[in-house]
Chain A
Amino acid sequence: MFAFLLRRLGQAVVVMLVISLLSFSIQDELGDPLRELVGQSVSEETREELREEMGLNDPFLAQYMRFLRGALRGDLGVSYFFKRPALDVILDKLPATIDLVLAATFWILLFSVPVGVFAAVNPRHWFSNLAMGLSAVGISVPVFLTAIFLIYLFSVELGWLPSYGRGETTEIFGWETGLLTRDGLRHLLLPSISLASVILPLFVRMIRSEMMEALEAEYVRFARAKGLREGRVRMVHAFKNTLLPVITVGGVQIGIMVAYTILTETVFQWPGMGFMFLEAINRADTPLIVAYLIVVGLIFVIVNTVVDIVYGLVNPAVKLTGKPA
């Protein structure tokens, strides 16, 4: 387990280096930071002085190393717009996004497992056909369309649910969350369903097909030949094997969901980092953009590591060696 974690940590460092290099090197393409900082009125000489002072004339590698050293100390630059450290800005927005992702993950797990398993066990049932049909449609409907439809139905027409903002939040352990108040949850409902709607159909289909495959396996036939009850054959023998591929692919999907938050948060004006990112792009707030990419990269690496660990716990073949047999 320790060697496994160490290996994983090494990989994570490499991945983060690559991400930081990439995000750092695109910032030159995003426009001249000086223009954003001082505007047009300043003379060419003062500009050149400022450039020199900020180290913008140094070779790329020197700039990157300086950036890295800063990053290691938690300094990802200062947002031009907010005039505050970029990391602080992001950390302020992070809880809202995490709330959203957690709630969406909750929906996904709540529905995909029972629906997927049911559809695998009763492939000809009308409900399975319905679920498969809906999921085929669901995969191809873009998030913003689902979001707009939900807002139209539940906020505009029925007036049941709020359509923007987080509502009331509370703080526990310094974490600002809307998961603990009624109002916060009401605000969370539509955005989290929209966000889940992209990934849920994928999960349902994946669980169904993996489960169907597992049900055909020879060990399932042997489990029946041992006289086990059908419930145990399905939920212990088949489902446990279904979990392995679902964890791998599913973990990555939940990471990818962070990217979908950009759209969802924008439609619902959710004050999270996805919404912030889109605004930062509009304002050409380069340090904030770079910081966002790095933080998202870090989240991705963490999620993947957790997924690997969980996978290792479920799959006995990876437990000892740290790599799949």
Chain B
Amino acid sequence: MPLLSVQNLEVVFPLPGGTVRALRNVSFDLDRGERIGIVGESGAGKSAAAFAILNLLGKPGKIQSGRILFDGHDLAALDYEAMRQIRGNRISMIFQDPMVTLNPVLTIGAQMTETLRAHRRMTRARARDIALEKLRAVQIPSAEKRLAQYPHELSGGMRQRVVIATALLSDPQIIIADEPTTALDVTIQAEILELLLRLCEDFAVGLILITHDLGVVFGVTQRILVMYAGRIIERGPTAEVIGAPRHPYTRGLIDALPSAARPGTPLKQIPGVMPSLHEIPSGCAFHDRCEFAQARCAAETPRLEEQGARAAACHFPL
């Protein structure tokens, strides 16, 4: 049995101007210690998937239907207190922008120890020791000094390390990282990513790595899910999907990677933009941007067809 099993998840944002269907029929599994990537353009619904798992969707978002089975419980149906005991304890989250994730008026130490003490009875001194141990695990220099410091005294990269250390405090089974490197300097991105990978391996933590950059998941996650307009349109082992994509959209993402271009030639781009989730076109949501589209693509929504470890939602897979 997988550790986490998301089944037919539907997330909506009922807005005055119409309901945004952020996730449509999203299903995926995560095994113990497994690392998966969720890839897609801005607005594809990646963050909605992440926050739905912890029942932390921004207002007015809500889970319309579907199940999120974690260790035998349906997270979508848990009461507040039971959900609270899972957040930051058994499933942790890392946010995108470390400059705004940490509370500016509390010390690093306070923000770390309160997390531990929200989940376990322990003395401040004991909590402090664990915090120190995790700060060392994320290789923060002079960790002891950091406990008394405030976020503004640390650089962006250091703050993200603090956030990662905080996520690790209770030895969670899953870490959800929502674009953990997007807000950082390019030079630091690789460092943070490598750190995250190593920590997940060392502590056998499952990872859901969310990114709009296919290059980020390569070499970090074992499997990837590609999302488009609120749906999963392709999934499979990372190397296989990147090596031989089945869905034209995945192919477009790969061709747009800088490493895919020959030096001197301009980067390829997928023409057009992803449809707004207010008004998703009929049939395949990608058809009007797809160079292989035929009449059927506009009429009939393709289902995610399983083929071994892989699946793609396309009438005419590559």
Contact = CB atoms under 8 A, between A and B. Distances in A.
A78 interface: no
Contacts of A232: 114, 118
A219 to B, nearest CB: 4
B102 A219 contact: yes
Listed from nearest, the 8 A-B pairs whose CB atoms lie closest are: A227-B88, A226-B88, A227-B87, A316-B150, A218-B100, A219-B103, A225-B93, A226-B115
20 contacts: A219-B100, A219-B103, A219-B104, A221-B56, A222-B93, A225-B54, A225-B87, A226-B118, A227-B87, A227-B89, A228-B114, A236-B106, A240-B106, A244-B105, A315-B105, A316-B104, A316-B105, A316-B107, A317-B104, A317-B150
Contacts, number: 78
Q: Which of B85, B103, B115 has the most CB of A within 10 A?
A: B103
A229 B152 CA distance: 25
Contacts of A218: 95, 97, 100-101
A233 to B, nearest CB: 10
Interface string A91-115: 0000000000000000000000000
Interface string A190-223: 0000000000000000000000000001110111
Interface residues of B, number: 30
A24 to B, nearest CB: 43
Contacts of A304: none
Interface in A277-325: 314-317, 325
B105 A241 contact: yes
B166 interface: yes
Given A316-B152, A317-B150, A325-B152, A224 B103 contact: no
Interface of B: 54, 56, 58, 80, 84-89, 92-93, 95, 97, 100-107, 114-115, 118-119, 150, 152, 163, 166
Interface of A: 217-219, 221-230, 232, 236-237, 240-241, 244, 314-317, 325
A220 B19 CA distance: 26
Contact of B115 (A219, A227, A316, A325): A227
A221 B89 CA distance: 15
Nearest to A238: B103
Nearest to B89: A227
Contacts of A315: 104-105
